[in-house]
Amino acid sequence: MARPYDRKILSSDLAHVSRAGLLDDWALQRAGRRGDGYVLVGTDEQGRVRETGQVQGWDIQAGWAWVTGTGLLRLGTPRSAIPSTGVTL
């Protein structure tokens, strides 16, 4: 699991992951114009493509990500088999 750089993700933060918004068919991308770091781009529960805020921490195997602005998200299927190869948040 990647460690966040500005806040510690607590088990209490993850207690309600089943009720968090879903991001499916997602990919990790550089933040681009907004500065350093990475964002997730994927399809939300309404079928809209969206870009999240900066990823603060995640656990792909457990299926969650913590992002700036939104907080906790559930992760569905990634676009690539190994979406985090060589990535340090």
Q: What tens digit of pLDDT does each residue of 34-86 get?
A: 667 899 999 999 999 999 999 988 888 888 998 988 889 999 999 887 666 66
Write down the pTM of the prediction.
Answer: 0.78
**Residue 53: what residue type?**
G
Residue among 81, 69, 64, 70 at smallest CA distance from 27: 81
Query: What is d(CA 73, CA 20) in angstroms, rounded to the nearest whole number?
Result: 5
pLDDT at residue number 10: 65
pLDDT at residue number 88: 67
Q: Quick one: DSSP state of residue 20?
A: S
Confidence band (pLDDT; 50, 70, 90) for 1? very low
Query: What is d(CA 30, CA 50) in angstroms, rounded to the nearest whole number?
Result: 14
- The residue length of the chain stands at 89
